[in-house]
Amino acid sequence: MIDLKSNFIGIQTPNPFWLASAPPTDKAYNINRAFEAGWGGVMWKTLGEAGPPIVNVSGPRYGAWHGKDRTLMGLNNIELITDRSLDINLQEIIQVKKDWPDRGVVVSLMVPCEEQSWKDILMQVEDTGADGIELNFGCPHGMSERGMGAAVGQVPDYVEMVTAWCKQYSQLPVIVKLTPNISDIRTSARAAVRGGADAVSMINTINSVMGVDIDTMRVSPTVGEQGAHGGYCGPAVKPIAMHMVSEVARDAECGGIPISAIGGVSNWRDAAEFMALGATNVQVCTAVMTYGFRIVEDMIDGLSRCLADRNMASVDDLIAAAVPTVTDWAKLDLNYVVKAQIDQDSCIKCGRCHIVCEDTSHQAISTQINGERGFEVIDKECVGCNLCVNVCPVEDCISLRQLQAGEMDERTGLPVSGDYRNWSQHPNNPMRVAGE
């Protein structure tokens, strides 16, 4: 088995699997169980300043979106930061770090956007022996209405300012947790870099309303007679999170800042994909709230096998391996032409490919082969959009064949050309710059 040791901004852990700041990391009892199961580190559930306790709703805190087989695809939560006292949390952090010196313990923080408030809590957290702090600039509900969480994360100047305070008043590594509820996550990441952040974590939850009970006309989750928007997480947000991670990973102004990836990580493959897109480690929440802490055993085993099968010696070989393959649309290869093809031996003749192509795409699939019912691609109409591949219920029944340079594209009546690499050089581009 491959050694999965991970080094995240100087925090050494036995593997790159961390628990995100959330209900599973709210107390020492949970975290001890998580470390016993094999998790490499935790982001302690967000602490606030000393004073009147946070009051959470006692009604439903979660709304769920299920797949047809009751698979939990997404959770909406309206829970706030920890409602346990600051003193109790600090004492438990001291004990956990003493008992588990080889695991990562980073403390998530959220206090009012005032310099003294941050200075005070930083001094207290530093005394616990924690490995770092995570600035919660992402929580989209409850706390944001109080001028914290996403209310800070959506203003780059505030992100930079508070990050700089934390670097000034603490010796601990500073991780800035970014909100996805913004037009371009790179602006917040760049602000964190300017403030001196050691790393960023992304993404926090997405603003959402899970649904409406059309019998009662109440939104879900409902507390008494009303509901409110909450934060959306789980497997369904993974594609959004992967896009944002890759954007920051390849952004020159972010300067290769380390990334802790969050958003729909449910198994080793999800983790591997995020790491290939530039993440140093991953944080998990919804999956453990669905299946429990022991899922990390399969994650450790699966990632070890993944690396071994690819002759990778460590997780470092995986990090950012796919980043060079991510680009902007304008740089995509317009010489790459494909056509769909149907394997007649595995085709079950359900007709789904024809229906979707006929109704919503390019009318490129016929319903007759030699006068009998069957489905065949019409090359002169096919644009290689891949919709038929995605809706076909038989895996690998429909595939895409690449046309080679010089081969005739029946749709355009022209041979596949190597005369232009991308849209910037395409003859139809009015903004084309010669020699670009």
Long-range contacts at 290-295 (CB < 8 A, ≥ 24 apart): 290/72, 293/24, 293/33, 293/34, 293/36, 293/37, 293/39, 294/37, 295/266, 295/267
Each residue's pLDDT tens digit, 336-369: 899 999 999 999 999 999 999 999 999 999 999 9
pLDDT of residue 149: 66
pLDDT above 60: residue 384 = yes
Mean pLDDT for 376-403 is: 96
Position 435 confidence tier, pLDDT thresholds 50, 70, 90: very low
pLDDT above 80: residue 430 = no
Position 199 confidence tier, pLDDT thresholds 50, 70, 90: very high
Task: Give span(s): CATH 3.30.70.20, the chain.
Answer: 329-425
Which one of 3.30.830.10, 3.40.50.170, 3.65.10.10, 3.20.20.70 gives the CATH number of domain 6-325?
A: 3.20.20.70
pLDDT of residue 87: 94
pLDDT of residue 337: 92
Full-model pTM: 0.91
Each residue's pLDDT tens digit, 32-91: 999 999 999 999 999 988 777 777 777 778 888 889 889 989 888 877 788 889 999 999
Each residue's pLDDT tens digit, 93-115: 999 999 999 999 999 999 988 99
Q: What DSSP designation does 205 have? A: P
Question: Which stretches of 394-434 are assigned E, i.e. beta strand?
Answer: 398-403, 408-409, 414-415
Gyration radius of the chain's alpha carbons? 25
Structure-token pair, residue 231: 């934060």
Each residue's pLDDT tens digit, 117-153: 999 999 999 999 999 999 998 776 656 666 666 778 7
CA 332-334-338 angle, to 5 degrees, is 110
What is the average pLDDT score of the chain? 91
Q: Which residues of 116-129 are buried (b: 16+ CB within 10 A; e: fewer)?
A: ebbeebbebbeebe
Residues annotated as catalytic are 139
**Under DSSP, is residue 120 helix (H, G, I), strand (E, B) or coil?**
helix
pLDDT above 90: residue 163 = yes
CA-to-CA distance for 56 and 68, rounded, in angstroms? 31
Q: What DSSP designation does 296 have? A: H
pLDDT of residue 45: 94
Each residue's pLDDT tens digit, 16-43: 999 999 999 999 999 999 999 999 999 9
Each residue's pLDDT tens digit, 283-314: 999 999 999 999 999 999 999 999 999 999 99
Burial of 133 (0-12, 13-18, 19+ CB in 10 A): buried
DSSP symbols for 15-66:
SSEEE-SSGGGSSHHHHHHHHHHT--EEEEEEE--SSSPP---SS--EEEEE
**Cis preceding-peptide flag for 221 (omega within 30 of 0):** yes
Q: What topology is assigned to 329-425 in CATH?
A: Alpha-Beta Plaits (3.30.70)
Task: Give span(s): CATH 3.20.20.70, the chain.
Answer: 6-325
